[in-house]
Amino acid sequence: MLWDVFCRVIDNFGDIGVCWRLSADLANRGHSVRLWVDDASALEWMAPEPLRPPGIQVLDWDAKDQEPGDIVIEAFGCNPPDAFVARMQRPAPPVWINLEYLSAENWVERCHGLRSPVMSGPGAGLSKWFFYPGFTQATGGLLRETDLMAARQAWEADHHRHRDRWLSSMLGISAPSPDTRWLSLFCYEPAPVEAMLEALATSGQPTLVLVTPGFATALSRQWQAANPLASTLTLHELPPLSQREFDHLLWACDLNMVRGEDSAVRALWAGQPHIWHIYPQDDGVHAGKLEAFMDRWMSGWPDDLAADVRALWLSWNGLKPASTMDFEPLSRVLHDPRWAASSRASRQRLAEIPDLVTQLCGFVLNGR
């Protein structure tokens, strides 16, 4: 089947990250994919040419005279070009799917798979189907390549060797002492990075923080400039990583601080302790989304562990009053083996839900 995947790069590359993973997963399962994007520049580092599977064609958003394929994926309500939609008007129109943003809220189950007749514009008379990723059997599941869990388990079987080799080959630096904690840092601008780094520095344990480009680098540099003698904390700035190497970063670290949707899902599959910086929205609805996710992800965790981790997540996201925002629980939970064990148990629950591409294909082929 030929899939047309439409993506607009709004900010922060999360949309193109999700759409590339979707396209690559479809291509690796034998489908043909045309990825239509208004700014493909991020793919130069996110998915460099040698790492791209055959079967994907990257097209400019305004490319002309292309006949629609069998399935049209409109990512996150991006509205494909009118001329393309008009060409979807044929005796057997393509299946038109709006792939929505990820949420753990209860309403997602009610809305997943619903049909929406198009009443006006060039698509009038066609139908659009809403497909919601999610965390329950009644949703569309999460992106997860067919070989991802096997690759992760192979790494886990010899974690230290794989980690040290990755650090040397990817970053050209030697592995630190065996008692060093490894952290990855990827965040939006409002993150209280200085407070987090201060808590790590005062804990007394050697810590290597692998800092991603962008806001994380800028904010960590501010802290380092004010604390040049912090001997227990080493900050190493990363180059832009391909999606494959970003996975390896998450697998290597003892704690991952991630942001948005794409990296958050990869942190779930990594199964390591993590702290999620949810995309902040002006109307504040992200607070409810974060609470809903914490309820699902931390279900069944020991009460004291869940309380500490929730407090960290709320502080990291600026969702606690300033007078109560602190990272005191960090040193406690970082030494608690239950955090990693509980993360792996939650990962296993998610792995029992069919992945998003499997469900998409079933949705298309089985008449919806």
Q: Which residue has the higher pLDDT, 331 or 29?
A: 29
Structurally, at CATH architecture level, domain 148-351 sits in 3-Layer(aba) Sandwich (3.40)
Give the model confidence (pLDDT) of 275-290 as tens digits.
Answer: 999 998 888 899 999 9
| Domain covering 2-142+354-365, topology | Rossmann fold (3.40.50)
Q: What does the pLDDT read at residue 207?
A: 94
Give the model confidence (pLDDT) of 84-126 as tens digits.
Answer: 999 999 999 999 999 999 999 999 999 999 999 999 999 999 9
Q: What does the pLDDT read at residue 154?
A: 97
Q: What does the pLDDT read at residue 174?
A: 86
Burial of 340 (0-12, 13-18, 19+ CB in 10 A): middle
Looking at the predicted structure, is the pLDDT value of residue 320 above 90? no
Average model confidence (pLDDT) across the chain: 94
Average pLDDT over residues 286-300: 96
Alpha carbon separation from 315 to 141, 247, 307, 309, 348 (Å, rounded): 28, 25, 12, 10, 27
The residue with tokens 């970082």 is 334
Contact present, 43 and 14 (Cβ < 8 Å): no
| Residue positions annotated with a catalytic role | 15, 261
Contact present, 108 and 139 (Cβ < 8 Å): yes
Give the model confidence (pLDDT) of 1-31 as tens digits.
Answer: 999 999 999 877 889 999 999 999 999 999 9
Looking at the predicted structure, is the pLDDT value of residue 274 above 80? yes
Reading the block at residue 210, the tokens are: 């692998």
Q: How far apart are CA 256 and CA 275, in angstroms?
A: 6
| Contacts of the segment 235-238: beta carbons below 8 A, 24+ positions apart | 235/197, 235/209, 235/211, 236/171, 236/173, 236/208, 236/209, 236/210, 236/211, 237/211, 237/213, 238/171, 238/210, 238/211, 238/212, 238/213
Domain 2-142+354-365 and domain 148-351 have a common topology:
yes
Sign of CA pseudo-dihedral 349, 115, 93, 21: negative
Q: Which residue has the higher pLDDT, 141 or 322?
A: 141
Burial of 280 (0-12, 13-18, 19+ CB in 10 A): middle
| All structural domains of the chain with their residue ranges | 2-142+354-365, 148-351
Dihedral angle of Cα 53, 61, 260, 346, to the nearest 10 degrees: -40
Helices and strands in the chain: count of H runs, count of E runs: 15, 12
Give the model confidence (pLDDT) of 68-89 as tens digits.
Answer: 999 999 999 999 999 999 999 9
pTM value is 0.95
Q: What percent of the chain has pLDDT over 70?
A: 98
Q: What does the pLDDT read at residue 325?
A: 66
